[in-house]
Structure 1
Amino acid sequence: MATGSDWMTPGAHPVADGVYRIPLPMPGDALRAVNVYAIEDDAGLVLVDAGWAVPAARKALEAALGDRGHDLAAIRRFLVTHLHQDHYSQAVAIRRETGVSIALGAGEQPSLEFMAAGTDEPYAAPLAQLRAAGAADLADQVKRLTSDAEQPELDWQPPDEWLSGEREVALSGRRLRALPTPGHTAGHYVFRDPQAGLLFAGDHVLPGITPSVGFEAVAAHRPLGRYLESLRAVRALPDALLLPAHGPVGDSVHRRVDELLAHHRDRLAEMAVAVGAGARTAYQVALTLPWTRRRRALDDLPPYHRMLAVNETALHLDLLAEQGRVAAHRVDGVTAYRPVT
């Protein structure tokens, strides 16, 4: 089983009978690769996620499928875990050529419609969240950087099928369960193969990093609360092999979910302490905390990652307020928090 950076080695890597993990490169992204999973079926291939619509990912996918004796025309269906470009955009590009069917969670519809409108400000929602967190200078910096960066042209077309609720996905040789797991995005789905003991987890459960929450074009309602609920729902299922979108395959979904739940429990406690010590905005709280596994200071992170850190701090503080552990109020467009007395 691949470990460390070995998981990014190109090719079609078997993970179960008739199931292959295909890592595809991502342009200019710290994650470096995304796993696409190919399921061999009597009627053709079903792919969980698709990759980023860039030439390098297209070439890598064609080569990996070719190693198994397939081409792009063998793909009959994409099951996409969520809307982010490294998961969805290549499915749309391939559909233009082959007519393949795409399924996506219905909760992604508002963000997809926003992106399809051709907005010049795809980061409008997270930048607004930054300003509400008391980080207006950081918002201005990120806006300048994202405005200057060259963005690939992507085609934000709707899927052929909107998934809603829990449902069965019937293949000729197996049956998958499609489970809504909102949090990372509002319409995130995972796909479970109960007979083979597999969970195609997308970005809901990742082995090496804590997934970002609520980072999408249209802000969702209480994304962290919904993410934790989704983690607990997955934890209540029988354990399975973890097939993540980024990183190597893991041997226990349960163990990783327990780690993620513990991480967020600890983060909530740390933030409550920071508010009790006098930090008032999400930005001020984020400055008191260590970040990443290297426990770096906020100001040592690149601006994009500082944005994610501050916004996730705000989501934790909002959940603390929902739980009655801190009080929140808005002053001049900035949310401030104080201890509950």
Structure 2
Amino acid sequence: MTECISEGLYRIPVPLPGNPLRELNSYLLRGRERSLLIDTGFRQEEGRRALFAGLAELDVDPRDVDVALTHLHSDHSGLAPEVVGETGWIYVSGPDRAYLEQPEEAKWAHTDAFYISEGFPPELLAQNRANPARALAPVPTGRYRTLEPGAVLEAGGRRLTCLPAPGHTPGQLCFWDESDGILFTGDHVLFDISPNITPWNGMEDALGCYLDSLRAVRELPARLALPGHRRPGALAPRVDALLEHHARRLDELTAILRARPGSTAYEAAAHMTWNIRSRSWDDFPLAQKWFAVGECIAHLDHLRRQGRLQREQQDGVWHAWAL
């Protein structure tokens, strides 16, 4: 079940049932006294069994484990409080810790109102309570500890430097093991799929932040980049491919707005290209439709910052025109 990647470094695959990502890569740095687990999986039973079975297979007692989160999303953070219990700590960036510690109802009420202002039908949002982003989130805990940019985590004979990579979330981190040339990318760089970029409160241009963060890690001399999902790969070529991917997406969205001026984000997203097995936009799984609209909004925000579109609010809903 577990995979030895390098001395003292293991991958524990954690299933994500019903999710197109299929599984999370949880990485364990096994130490003599304490071990460090990077990311944990959704707060659901199948993933819980797999994660704790992986720790047992490696003869690691959860009471001797701390968790480092690459970012706040539930498929990475959901099981963290259960792993550390009252004996370990959950290390996370300051911006993402602030989100994790917000009351869930208030957080989602704000998010729902925002999506309605972007044209998402309220009746569909009312059905979105089962979205894993909210349904499988971690339980409240007082075990969070903030990682500042450049902080160093030590475990299993390794030193991991915390590199801020905002975009996918406000406080996404990569962990850089310079001595072994290994970069833990979380969802900042994925090799089989493109990370989902959506708007965040307080970030005027999440996509712009993401593109800058991609460029910032591109020149690291990484011999191996270990992502949060699916297979590893070579860092620089993948960064170049992701930059090109988003350039094409921006051009695609501009063309959609020229053909359909005044579209809402929900309407524009329906005409974007998505790698989802559905016959039409109406057939999209609701959770995937929600993520798709979020990605469309992030691209609209970046186009606006580039001076390539204008937006206007009509009856409480935003519409966009290409310039």
1:104 Cα deviation from its structure 2 partner: 0.5
Tell me what 2:35 maps to.
Answer: 45
Tell me what 1:191 maps to.
Answer: 175
SS of 1:41's equivalent in the other structure is coil
1:323 Cα deviation from its structure 2 partner: 0.7
Select which of 254, 257, 260 maps to 1:272: 254
Q: CA contact under 8 A between 1:142 and 1:304: conserved in structure 2?
A: no
Q: CA contact under 8 A between 1:80 and 1:102: conserved in structure 2?
A: yes
Closer, same or farther: CA 144–55 of 1 in aligned 2, 3 Å: closer
Tell me what 1:168 maps to.
Answer: 152
Summarize the alignment of residues 44-123 of structure 1 with structure 2, pairs less than 5 Å apart.
44-75=34-65, 77-97=66-86, 99-114=87-102, 117-119=103-105, 123=108
Tell me what 2:293 maps to.
Answer: 310
What letter is aligned with 1:321? R
Deviation larger for 81-90 or 62-71: 62-71
What letter is aligned with 2:150? E
Tell me what 1:144 maps to.
Answer: 127
Structure-1 separation of matches of 2:137 and 2:293: 28
Structure-1 separation of matches of 2:163 and 2:143: 18
Closer, same or farther: CA 294–242 of 1 in aligned 2, 3 Å: farther
Structure-2 separation of matches of 1:148 and 1:174: 36
What letter is aligned with 2:295? E
What letter is aligned with 1:68? L
Structure-1 separation of matches of 2:277 and 2:92: 35
Identity percentage of aligned residues: 34
- Whether 1:298 aligns to 2:281 is yes
SS of 1:288's equivalent in the other structure is coil
- Whether 1:326 aligns to 2:309 is yes
1:184 Cα deviation from its structure 2 partner: 1.2
Structure-1 separation of matches of 2:283 and 2:20: 16
1:304 Cα deviation from its structure 2 partner: 1.7
Structure-1 separation of matches of 2:279 and 2:230: 22
Select which of 132, 138, 145 maps to 2:117: 132
Tell me what 1:157 maps to.
Answer: 141
Structure-1 separation of matches of 2:306 and 2:137: 42
Q: CA contact under 8 A between 1:42 and 1:173: conserved in structure 2?
A: no
Q: CA contact under 8 A between 1:179 and 1:190: conserved in structure 2?
A: yes
1:335 Cα deviation from its structure 2 partner: 1.7
TM-score (ref. length: structure 1): 0.85
TM-score (ref. length: structure 2): 0.89
Q: Deviations over 1:228-255 (max 9, x none)?
A: 111111113223312111112x230222
SS of 1:179's equivalent in the other structure is strand
1:227 Cα deviation from its structure 2 partner: 1.2
Structure-2 separation of matches of 1:148 and 1:173: 39
1:293 Cα deviation from its structure 2 partner: 6.5
Q: CA contact under 8 A between 2:37 and 2:68: conserved in structure 1?
A: yes
1:147 Cα deviation from its structure 2 partner: 6.4
Closer, same or farther: CA 74–148 of 1 in aligned 2, 3 Å: closer
Q: CA contact under 8 A between 2:205 and 2:305: conserved in structure 1?
A: no
Q: Deviations over 1:144-181 (max 9, x none)?
A: 24269994584122444211222322346222111111
Q: CA contact under 8 A between 1:299 and 1:306: conserved in structure 2?
A: no
Closer, same or farther: CA 151–268 of 1 in aligned 2, 3 Å: closer
Closer, same or farther: CA 229–125 of 1 in aligned 2, 3 Å: farther
Summarize the alignment of residues 279-290 of structure 1 with structure 2, pairs less than 5 Å apart.
279-280=261-262, 281-290=264-273
1:71 Cα deviation from its structure 2 partner: 2.6
Closer, same or farther: CA 55–295 of 1 in aligned 2, 3 Å: closer
Structure-2 separation of matches of 1:295 and 1:261: 26
